[in-house]
């Protein structure tokens, strides 16, 4: 039997997963990097993006690409606004205390999950892909939509990196990340940067959710796995390091598909959770990072 | 031996006496509810040793509760040992696991510590599912009828009787409460609080803070295991739900509501929350939403909990 088509297919599937993971994990990494807090409800923002795509598909008439484009715009705005409100109502008031933030975002996770369960019910919901175009390889045809996912992820991540490196907003963010007090002394509105970063982090997860939902059904508990994988990526890539996060997302997104071919999904998850714990214990700067400041 | 903090000691004795009298006043349903509350309060008191007194917030205590449940339940189910031996096996399993996890997790601090304990606990939960042929997985295992009664020192105890269960739970609760009184109100307790308030300064004073934290971690995990072993054996059922993330969060919530770093706070928090959750699960299946909201409310406006607020305002000995 020919090995090439299998390798090609596994690589493509890995790249699609890596793209979505890159968006979601970057959101978590950005929030941790700039604000030094861990957002446990990050997976729920991803889930809300997927559910929003399903709602759009049901409410907006027209060919499938119309509600899809609408969802791609509406979901991040809605989720970003929700995150902004959570930041204003909760995180700001506990002064971004790292431990209190974890406890209250666990609370937020339960609230979002159960609200979704109450409003949308326990069933998994499928959403039609925005377009059907098959890319022909000599051995098999592959969904053109999945190439679109990869393209969107590359464009967004590229845009984000450019923004961070070359814009004033990016400078504000990097300054806040480097030293909050000094940044404040230089007139940088640190509290606004915090609210903005928290909202942008959530929006990235929501876009990941919208993109994934034509190939994976929307469900109120679907946020668990992206949260766990984002944790793995962020921690393996080095806490708060954007290039590390991108590298780790590609590595783990590519290998996750292969791992679940050879091992059971439960075993793969045991491996990931232990990896996160042991990296934090023995190499807190991440597998790729240099010894921290 | 001199007793530090006599007022608190008297309050503990009065609480135990009150809980003993309670069984003659309550309906059968509430006696059962209070049996569960007493066992879960032991769990929360164990959690409180680490979180309240030592200031280390763990998100993984479900694994120690689960170690108690499975250590006791599996040795009773597969080896057929008597219940007191199974109970001891559960406690030993929890002590061994918490010592081991403590050695690793205590190399990290604050946020990393929370994530590390969470991840170890999830790995333990997934392992229970992975070996479901042996552990029963999420279906669980029901202990055989032979494991529903035992005799100790000539005393026959029937685990299907409500009265026996309540008094057994109260006995274990009383032993743990008085043991923790001695542990937290004496010199060791002061060391735990010193680590919570300022770890660097404690180290500067010549104490080995890693050893102190490891002691707190192991005692905390061991007591959680006492609660787990008792729960599994008393109700004759073990299942993966006892090692879920939700269990860790419940210990955290009970302790936060009652008052972290107060000896009786976990009992108050567990009592209030368990009664509330029981009520709510009758009304709605989405009672987790209330747990979520309470976590936020307590963090925002009520970080010292009920007894913590009383202590700060009026009763400084309530610790």
pLDDT digit string, tens, across residues A84-94:
999 999 998 98
Q: What is the pLDDT of residue A292?
A: 44
Q: What is the pLDDT of residue A231?
A: 86
- Lowest model confidence (mean pLDDT) among A55-59, A258-262, B49-53, B295-299: A258-262
What are A151-169's pLDDT values in tens digits?
A: 999 999 999 989 888 888 8
Q: What is the pLDDT of residue A13?
A: 82
For residue B316, is pLDDT > 50? yes
What are B129-166's pLDDT values in tens digits?
A: 999 888 888 888 888 877 777 777 767 777 778 888 99
B309 in a structural domain: no
How much is the mean pLDDT over chain B? 89
B84 in a structural domain: yes
CA angle B119, B213, B88 (to 5 degrees): 75
Rounded to a whole number of angstroms, the distance from the CA of B10 to the nearest CA of chain A is 34
DSSP assignment string, B71-137: HHHHHHHHH---HHHHHHHHHHHHHHHHHHHHHHHTTS-HHHHHHHHHHHHHHHHHHHHHTHHHH-T
Q: pTM of the predicted model, to two decimals?
A: 0.88
Query: A31: burial class by Cβ within 10 Å (0-12, 13-18, 19+)?
Result: buried
Higher pLDDT, A95 or A79: A79
B85 in a structural domain: yes
* Disruptive mutation site among B51, B121, B126 for chain A (greatest number of A CBs within 10 Å): B126
Q: If you search the block for the tokens 């990235």, which residue do you land on?
A: A204
CB atoms within 10 A of CB B208: 12
- Residues of chain A positioned with their CB less than 8 A from the CB of B115: 38, 231, 235, 276-277, 280
Rounded to a whole number of angstroms, the distance from the CA of B281 to the nearest CA of chain A is 13
Q: Averaged over B173-177, what is the pLDDT?
A: 95
Q: Averaged over A104-119, what is the pLDDT?
A: 92
Q: Averaged over B78-101, what is the pLDDT?
A: 93
**Cross-chain CB nearest to A266 (options B115, B119, B129):** B129
- As given in the structure block, the two tokens for residue B168 are 């057994």
Q: Averaged over B47-53, what is the pLDDT?
A: 94
Q: Count how many pairs of residues, chain A against chain B, have C-beta atoms within 8 Å.
A: 110
Q: Are B85 and B28 a contacting pair, CB within 8 Å? A: no
How much is the mean pLDDT over chain A? 86
Contact B111 A118 (CB under 8 A): no
Contact A114 B289 (CB under 8 A): yes
Between CA A153 and CA A23 the distance in angstroms is 7
What are B99-129's pLDDT values in tens digits?
A: 999 999 999 888 889 989 999 999 999 999 9
CA angle B165, B169, B171 (to 5 degrees): 115
Rounded to a whole number of angstroms, the distance from the CA of A114 to the nearest CA of chain B is 6
Q: Are A210 and A91 a contacting pair, CB within 8 Å? A: no
Q: Averaged over B162-174, what is the pLDDT?
A: 91
For residue B190, is pLDDT > 60? yes
Q: Averaged over A238-249, what is the pLDDT?
A: 84
CB atoms within 10 A of CB A70: 18
Q: Averaged over B87-104, what is the pLDDT?
A: 95
DSSP state of A143: E
Q: Are B266 and B47 a contacting pair, CB within 8 Å? A: yes
The segment with the largest mean pLDDT, out of A130-144, A238-252, B275-289, is A238-252
B295 in a structural domain: no
Residue A141 phi, psi dihedral angles, 5° rounding: -100, 145
Rounded to a whole number of angstroms, the distance from the CA of B75 to the nearest CA of chain A is 24
Q: Averaged over A206-214, what is the pLDDT?
A: 91
b/e A156-165 (16+ beta carbons within 10 angstroms → b): bbeebeeebe
Q: Averaged over B249-253, what is the pLDDT?
A: 92
User: Which percentage of chain B shows pLDDT scores above 90?
Assistant: 53
Q: How many domains does chain B have?
A: 1
B177 in a structural domain: yes
Q: Are A202 and A47 a contacting pair, CB within 8 Å? A: no
Q: Averaged over B237-257, what is the pLDDT?
A: 91
Q: Averaged over A189-194, what is the pLDDT?
A: 88
B300 in a structural domain: no
Helix residue spans in chain B (DSSP H)? 6-25, 28-48, 62-79, 83-105, 110-130, 132-135, 162-185, 187-197, 199-204, 209-235, 245-258, 265-283, 288-301, 305-313
Instruction: Report the candidate in B62, B77, B115 with the shortest Cα–Cα distance to residue B236.
Output: B77
B319 in a structural domain: no
What are A255-275's pLDDT values in tens digits?
A: 776 666 667 778 888 888 898
For residue A1, is pLDDT > 60? no
- Residues of chain B positioned with their CB less than 8 A from the CB of A114: 286, 288-289, 292
Nearest CA in chain A to B303: A100
B277 in a structural domain: no
- Residues of chain B positioned with their CB less than 8 A from the CB of A282: 107
The segment with the largest mean pLDDT, out of A130-144, A159-173, B43-57, B278-292, is B43-57
Between CA A65 and CA A228 the distance in angstroms is 31
Strand runs (DSSP E) across A70-198, as ranges?
134-136, 141-143
Range of the domain at B161: 6-244
Q: What is the pLDDT of residue A132?
A: 78
Q: Are A265 and B93 a contacting pair, CB within 8 Å? A: no
Q: What is the pLDDT of residue A287?
A: 66
Higher pLDDT, A62 or A162: A162
Q: Are B258 and B305 a contacting pair, CB within 8 Å? A: yes
């Amino acid at each position: 039997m020919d090995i090439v088509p299998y390798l090609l297919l596994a690589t493509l599937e890995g790249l699609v997963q890596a793209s979505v993971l890159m968006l979601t994990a970057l959101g978590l990494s950005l929030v941790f990097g700039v604000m030094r807090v861990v957002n446990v409800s990050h997976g729920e923002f991803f889930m809300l993006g997927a559910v929003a795509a399903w709602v759009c598909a049901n409410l907006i008439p027209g060919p499938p690409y119309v509600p899809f484009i609408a969802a791609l715009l509406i979901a991040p705005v809605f989720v970003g606004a929700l995150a902004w409100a959570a930041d204003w109502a909760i995180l700001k008031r506990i002064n971004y205390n790292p431990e209190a933030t974890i406890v209250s975002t666990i609370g937020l996770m339960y609230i979002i999950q159960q609200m979704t369960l109450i409003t949308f019910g326990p069933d998994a919901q499928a959403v039609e892909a925005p377009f059907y175009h098959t890319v022909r390889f000599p051995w098999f045809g592959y969904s053109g939509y999945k190439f679109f996912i990869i393209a969107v992820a590359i464009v967004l991540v590229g845009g984000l990196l450019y923004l961070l490196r070359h814009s004033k907003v990016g400078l504000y963010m990097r300054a806040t990340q480097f030293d909050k007090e000094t940044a404040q002394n230089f007139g940088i509105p640190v509290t606004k940067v915090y609210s903005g970063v928290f909202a942008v982090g959530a929006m990235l997860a929501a876009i990941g959710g919208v993109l994934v939902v034509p190939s994976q059904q929307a469900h109120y508990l679907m946020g668990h796995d992206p949260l766990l994988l984002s944790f793995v990526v962020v921690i393996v890539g080095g806490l708060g390091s954007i290039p590390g996060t991108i590298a780790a997302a590609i590595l783990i997104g590519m290998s996750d598909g292969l791992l679940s071919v050879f091992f059971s999904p439960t075993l793969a998850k045991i491996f990931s959770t232990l990896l996160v714990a042991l990296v934090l214990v023995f190499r807190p700067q991440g597998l790729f990072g240099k010894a921290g400041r | 031996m001199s007793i530090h903090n006599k007022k608190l000691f008297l309050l503990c004795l009065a609480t135990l006496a009150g809980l003993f009298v309670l069984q003659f006043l309550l309906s059968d349903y509430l006696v059962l509810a209070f049996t569960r509350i007493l066992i879960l309060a032991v769990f929360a008191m164990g959690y409180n040793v680490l979180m309240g007194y030592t200031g280390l917030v763990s998100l993984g205590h479900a694994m120690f509760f689960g170690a108690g449940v499975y250590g006791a339940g599996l040795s009773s189910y597969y080896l057929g040992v008597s219940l007191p031996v199974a109970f001891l096996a559960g406690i030993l399993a929890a002590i061994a696991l918490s010592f081991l996890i403590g050695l690793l997790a205590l190399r990290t601090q604050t946020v990393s510590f929370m994530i590390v304990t969470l991840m170890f606990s999830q790995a333990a939960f997934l392992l229970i599912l992975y070996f479901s042929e042996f552990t029963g997985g999420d279906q669980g295992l029901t202990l055989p009828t032979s494991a529903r009664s035992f005799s100790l020192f000539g005393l026959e105890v029937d685990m299907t009787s409500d009265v026996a269960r309540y008094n057994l739970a109260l006995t274990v609760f009383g032993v743990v409460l008085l043991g923790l009184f001695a542990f937290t109100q004496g010199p060791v307790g002061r060391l735990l609080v010193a680590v919570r308030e300022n770890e660097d300064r404690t180290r500067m004073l010549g104490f080995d803070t890693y050893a102190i934290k490891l002691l707190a971690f192991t005692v905390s995990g061991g007591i959680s295991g006492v609660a787990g072993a008792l729960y599994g054996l008393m109700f004759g059922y073990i299942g993966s739900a006892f090692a879920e993330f939700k269990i860790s969060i419940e210990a955290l919530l009970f302790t936060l509501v009652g008052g972290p770093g107060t000896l009786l706070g976990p009992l108050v928090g567990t009592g209030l929350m368990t009664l509330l959750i029981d009520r709510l699960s009758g009304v709605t299946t989405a009672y987790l939403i209330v747990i979520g909201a309470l976590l936020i409310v307590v963090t925002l406006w009520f970080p010292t909990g009920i007894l913590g607020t009383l202590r700060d305002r009026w009763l400084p000995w309530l610790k």
